[in-house]
Amino acid sequence: MKKEFPLTNIIRHTLIVFFMLTILLPLAWVLLLSIKSMPDSMRGSLWPRKFDFNHYTYVFEKIDTLPQNLFNSIYVTSATVLITSVCAVLAGYAIVHLKPKGSLFLVTVLVLSLYFPTRVVSIISVYEIQDYLSLINSTNGLILPYITLNLAVSVLIMRSIFQLVPGELIDSARMDGAGPWRTLWLIGIPLAKNGLVVIIIVNFVTAWGEYLLAATLTNDQEVRTMPVVLASAQGGMGQWAWPRIAAVYVIVVLPGIIAFAMAQKLFFKGLMDGALKT
């Protein structure tokens, strides 16, 4: 690399910092809003004159349905992530290393479904299915359609991950007498760990923030998930005064960012290594 002039470098870093601030400022703003005192929240200035950290306890004590909504979100998201990951690991492993008949066809259909606006168009019929199964207005019922939201992508990711596991390893395990299940458990999964982290994050982000299905398939506040509650909350006075909604917002958005921060190294490994090495 050519040695850079200091001036180019200054311009470069100024521009980068500008973009970084663009990304971070909205988040900083909402975080600050959640710890502003009431009068400060009415004024627009970014930095409050007086901090008030009580909004966080207030929302749990005074908004009746909030604990329930939060629980619904956690419950639906965990179930979705767990089931989708299991499906994706099994299918990815089988497609690459067991090659049952029809797996090529399955992969083709999965890829095709990504190019079609399935999520939007299928809602008409998904409503009908849920109604038929009496799952309208049920938190449990959301889990089923949620599983398929990212199923195709998760399977394709796991397929690519299992392609990295050398066939010889799997074969030698099988020669030693291990069945396909034992091989997957002892050889496959440990080697596919990074990919698993990626699909867990991906499915978490989708299920945790899903709006369309949740808003369409549920009616009562107690069975709804956090995204629907937040999207329908009109900021104003009382329970939903601005700093209080902002506190709810921070409570909802933080788990994802913390989880990403913790899994960040593993995630980049899954994401970047491949690109950098090839």
Partner 1 sequence: MSQDLLWATLLWLPTRGETAKVTTGNPAINGPTPKSWLVEHNNWVFLLPTVLFFVWYQVYPIVRVVWISFTDYKYLTNDPANWVGFDNYVEALSDPLMWDSLGRAAYFTAMFLPGTIIIPLLLAVLIHGVQNQRLATVYRVILLIPAVIPSTLVFVLWKWMYNYQIGPINHFLVEVTGWFTYRNAPQWLGGTDLTLPSVAIMEVWWGLGYHSVFFLAGLAAIPKDLPEAARIDGAGEWQVFWHIILPRLQPIMLILVILRFGTSMGVIDEYLIFGGFNRESPTYTWTIFMYDQAFKTGLWRQGFAAAIGMVGSLAMMVFVTWLIYIFRSRD
**Residue 165 · residue 191 · CB < 8 Å:** yes
Residues 52-81 that bind partner 1 (CB under 8 A): none
Q: Does 212 bind partner 1 (CB under 8 A)?
A: yes
Answer for which of 51, 53, 60, 116 binds partner 1 (CB under 8 A) is 116
From candidates 70, 201, 223, 247, binder to partner 1 by CB under 8 A? 201
Residue of the chain from 82, 191, 253, 266 that contacts partner 1 (CB under 8 A) = 253
CB 53 within 8 A of CB 35: yes
Nearer to partner 1, 65 or 87 (CB): 87
Determine, following the binding rule CB under 8 A, whether residue 175 of this chain makes contact with partner 1. yes
- Among 6, 100, 177, 238, which residue interacts with partner 1 (rule: CB under 8 A)? 100
What is d(CA 244, CA 229) in angstroms, rounded to the nearest whole number? 13
Residue 192 near partner 1 by CB under 8 A: no
CA dihedral angle for residue 87, residue 140, residue 211, residue 219, rounded to 10 degrees: 160
- Smaller CB distance to partner 1: residue 75 or 249? 249
**Angle at which helices 66-93 and 193-209 cross, to 10°:** 140
Tell which one of 70, 79, 81, 151 touches partner 1 (CB under 8 A).
151
Q: Is 134 in the site for partner 1 (CB under 8 A)?
A: no
Size of the site for partner 1 (CB under 8 A): 123
Q: According to the binding rule CB under 8 A, does residue 115 interact with partner 1?
A: yes
Classified as helix, coil or strand, 1 is coil
Nearest partner of 208 among 156, 275, 150, 158, judged by Cα? 150
Phi-psi region of 134 (alpha: psi -120 to 50; beta: other; left: phi over 0): left
